[in-house]
Amino acid sequence: MPAVRFDGLTKIYGSGDTAVVGIQDAAMSVERGELVAIIGPSGSGKSTLLTTIGLVTEPTAGRIEIDGEAVYDGRWVGPDRKLIRRRKIGFIFQHHNLIPFLTVAENVQVALDINGVRGRAAAARIRDLLGYLQIDHRAASYPARISGGERQRVAIARALANDPLLILADEPTASLDTERGKSVMEHLRRLARERGSAVIVVTHDERMIAGFDRVGRVQDGRLLVSPAAAAA
Amino acid sequence: MNLAIRDIRYNLGRFLLTGLGLGLLIAVVMSMAGIYRGLVIEATTIFNAAGADLWVVQKDTRGPFAESSRIPEDLYRTLAVIPGVAAAAPVSYQNLQVEHAGRPLRLYVVGHRPGGLGGHGPLASGRPIGQKRYEAVADESAGLLIGESLELGRNRYTVVGLTRQMVSSGGDPALFVSLVDAQELQFKKSNEALRNDRERIEASLRDLTRRAPAVARQVTATVEAITQSTHIANAVLIRLEPGADPRDAAGRIEAWKHHTVLTAAEQEQILTRFVIEKARRQLGLFTAILLVISTVIVALIIYTLTIDKIREIATLKLIGAPGLVVVKLIMQQSLALGAIAFAVGGLLIHSLYDRFPRRVVLLPADHLALLAIVAGICVLASLLGIRRALAVDPIQALGG
């Protein structure tokens, strides 16, 4: 069963003469453990695709299934979208979006707390994730006191907190230098392989997609999917 | 996980400074409540110390505090024999401003029969008035010392005792003297006025002097005695026997139709509701305005703090945080700000209240009521920020 599948996915902003096509008739199925890159020039619609799959932006038409369950079929259907986002989707942002007044450990804890995981179970999960991403020595530090690469690893740890089925990363390397960017991509590859999450990464930097299973290229709102080797 | 506390911990300096600023405002609100309480207590200290059950005053007046009242001093003798009356004593009250030690000194002179009703109650130091003339008991707030001499009218008085917090409704320190001294201060005319009176009387009786000089001399003497008499009081205080009905005794006195009788409760109501009514309303209105200002300030602060956290709020919403998490973050911060401000205000006013020129009475019940109001204000003020936060689109967490 694919982690996420969408078909005929269309998002049009506005209407009439002022209508702007965000994405049009996009279709794709991403399996667990699969690593997919969405690339395209600025304004091509890749972020719209990401937010639509992430159940943040309401599509205009099409169908989305998460973990085999329809969430959108011409309209929102199925369980609460917040609940799905909380339990099945992990987000990684361009600027890490860590909460500045929470320590590294607390930034991971907040995602667990929202999902009702507290106490010893939460503490063990935080230790596990920070160790996995090699930032356990920064657990008590505030985001302002750690490096950009470390911040992005904390953001990955937060995205992984609830063991999500699907991870959506929006330009996760955009604010990092090449070396740190590669390191973050390596972490994403590892977690797809080792943790079995489906990972969709939106990026404009084609140098970063080495090792991805498939690449989706967005051009004027249309998505063309091909194996990574073909894209390269 | 309490996000509000963690935000406060991280931005502690900023929060404390904001709380300090708001605390100053809360301190003013607390002082207003304290001044109001002080006003009520000050207005009734002399009344309470008088220990009277009934106040007999000039007919159709609400004297002696709310308006002028003059009654014959010797009325007390008649009143003392009415059934149910245990004691009756004449008293006089008068505002006075004198020069003392090179500075103006305002005093509220209370004339009473030492040991009788209308006195000062327990002393803070010194002794009560021990002789019929020229001794005084002053309130500490007058700044007089025991043994100090004070010139009032034509005579000098020696301070023999000091009271504590015994002031008039206007906040002037009380000065207790014997009734005779007080009557002289209030009613005795100057020599010039006496000469003028005498000439006026003689001019009025000129015809009678021509026709019957002996009668005219007698009439002149009688009229002079009446016009120069200082045997006047502002009220006669009555203490009833245990079990006596105040309304019944008041009814007997009023039946003569020459005087008005006020019960202690009525007199207290006049003092607290009418004499200080405008000051009370002024303080109330000022306090209400300050509370409105506090609400607006808290709302602006919380709104600004919310705007500063828009990206974090959007992130929380994007990762699936329920609206309640965001509502709690903002409301708890608002309440914490209120708590800091309340603590700062409390500390400030408790360390400064005795430096106010007039009495400031801080009651735990008032503080509790204000705490509840501050909490209400904080909840109300946070609504603007909450509204803004709930309107944040999670998509704002994405992008640069």
pLDDT tens digits, one per residue of B51-85: 899 999 998 898 798 888 888 888 888 898 888 89
List of chain A residues whose C-beta atoms are within 8 Å of the C-beta of residue B315: 93, 97, 99
Sequential DSSP letters for A199-212: EEEEES-GGGGTT-
| Integer CA distances (angstroms), A100 to A34, A83, A141, B326, in order | 32, 24, 10, 16
CB contact under 8 A, B6 and A102: yes
Probe site for chain B from A42, A47, A82 (most B CB atoms < 10 A): A82
What mean pLDDT comes out for the span B103-126? 90
Q: Which residue of A has its CA nearest to B395?
A: A56
Cβ of A106 and B6 within 8 Å? yes
ipTM of the modeled complex: 0.84
Partner residue opposite B10 with nearest CB, options A47, A142, A158: A142
CB spacing of B398 vs A51 below 8 angstroms: yes
Determine the Cα angle at A161 with ends A159 and A167, to 5°.
35
Q: What residues in A contact B311, CB-CB < 8 Å? A: 97
- Give the pLDDT score at B57: 93
**Does the CB of A101 have a partner CB in chain B at under 8 Å?**
yes
Taking the CA of residue B397 and the nearest CA in chain A, the distance in Å comes to 7
- Beta strands A35-39 and A214-219 are parallel
Which residues in chain A have Cβ-Cβ distances shorter than 8 Å to B9? Answer: 101
On average, the pLDDT of chain B sits at: 87
Contact criterion met (CB below 8 Å) for A63 and A8: yes
Within 8 A of B398 by CB-CB distance, chain A residues are 47, 50-51, 56, 93-94, 170
Q: State residue A104's pLDDT score.
A: 95
Contact A154, A107 (CB under 8 A): yes
pLDDT tens figures, B163-180: 998 999 888 999 999 998
pLDDT tens readout for residues A166-195: 999 888 887 777 877 788 788 888 878 888
Helix (H, G, I), strand (E, B) or coil at B370: helix
Q: Rounded to 5 degrees, what are φ and ψ at A231?
A: -65, -40
Give the pLDDT score at B225: 67
List the structure tokens of B370.
Answer: 């204000």
d(CA B132, CA B178): 6
Tell me how far apart the alpha carbons of residues B163 and A53 are, in angstroms, rounded to a whole number: 82
Q: Does A109 touch chain B (CB under 8 A)?
A: yes
pLDDT of A85-119, one tens digit each? 888 999 888 778 899 999 999 999 999 999 899 99
Of A84, A91, A94, the CB nearest to B400: A94
Q: Give yes or no for A67 touching B (CB within 8 A).
A: no
Residue of chain A whose Cα is closest to the Cα of B317: A82
Task: Give the integer Cα–Cα distance in Å for B393 and B311.
Answer: 10
Cβ of A114 and B315 within 8 Å?
Answer: no
Alpha-carbon Rg of chain B, whole angstroms? 31
- CB atoms B320 and A106 under 8 Å: no
User: Which chain B residue has the Cα nearest residue A102?
Assistant: B6
Give me the pLDDT at residue B58, please. Answer: 92
Asked if residue B223 has pLDDT above 80, the reply is no
Q: Do A170 and B9 touch (CB under 8 A)?
A: no
Chain A, nearest residue to B397 by Cα: A97
Q: Please report which confidence band the pLDDT of residue A232 belongs to, taking 50, 70 and 90 as the band edges.
A: very low
- Chain B residues in contact with A85 (beta carbon < 8 A): 318-320
Query: Which among B9, B316, B395 has the least Cβ separation from residue A56?
Result: B395
Structural contact between residues B88 and B80, judged by C-beta atoms closer than 8 angstroms: yes
Q: Is residue B210 pLDDT above 80, yes or no?
A: no
A to B CB pairs, distance under 8 Å: 76
Question: Mapping DSSP to helix (H, G, I), strand (E, B) and coil, where does residue B121 land?
Answer: coil
Question: What single DSSP character describes residue B95?
Answer: E
- Give the nearest partner residue to A101 out of B6, B318, B321, using CB atoms: B6
Does position B228 have pLDDT exceeding 70, yes or no?
Answer: no
pLDDT of B222 > 50? The answer is yes
Rg of chain A over all Cα atoms, to the nearest angstrom: 17
pLDDT score at B242 = 92
Using one digit for the tens of pLDDT, what is the confidence trace for A125-139? 999 889 888 889 999
- Chain B residues inside the 8 Å CB shell of A172: none
Chain B residues with beta carbon closer than 8 angstroms to that of A114 = 316, 319-322, 325
Selecting from A83, A89, A101 the residue whose C-beta is nearest the C-beta of B10 gives A101
Contact A91 B321 (CB under 8 A): no
- pLDDT at A229 (0 to 100): 54
Percent of chain B whose predicted confidence (pLDDT) is above 90: 39
Residue B280 has pLDDT above 60, yes or no: yes
Which residue on chain B is closest to A162 by alpha carbon?
B319
Q: Does A50 touch chain B (CB under 8 A)?
A: yes
Say if A195 is an interface residue toward chain B (CB within 8 Å): no
Q: What is the pLDDT of residues B304-353, one digit of tens each?
A: 888 888 889 999 998 888 899 999 999 999 899 999 999 999 999 999 98
Q: pLDDT by residue (tens digit) across A153-174?
A: 898 889 888 888 899 988 888 7
For residues B397 and B315, give the distance between their C-alpha atoms in angstroms, rounded to a whole number: 5
Give the closest-approach CA distance of B313 to chain A in angstroms: 9
Q: Which of B319, B329, B333, B393 to mutate to test the interface with A (most CBs of A within 10 A)?
A: B319
The predicted model gives B364-375 an average pLDDT of 92
A110 with B3: Cβ contact below 8 A: yes
To the nearest whole Å, the CA of B139 is away from the closest chain A CA by: 57
- Residue B380 — pLDDT band, cuts 50, 70, 90? confident
Contacts of B397 in chain A (CB under 8 A): 91, 93, 97
Query: Do the chains contact at A110 and B1, CB–CB below 8 Å?
Result: yes
DSSP character at residue B134: S
Nearest CA of chain A to the CA of B398: how many Å? 6
Contact residues for B294 (Cβ-Cβ < 8 A; gap 6+)? B22, B25, B26, B29, B341, B374, B377
B317 min Cα distance to partner chain A (Å): 8
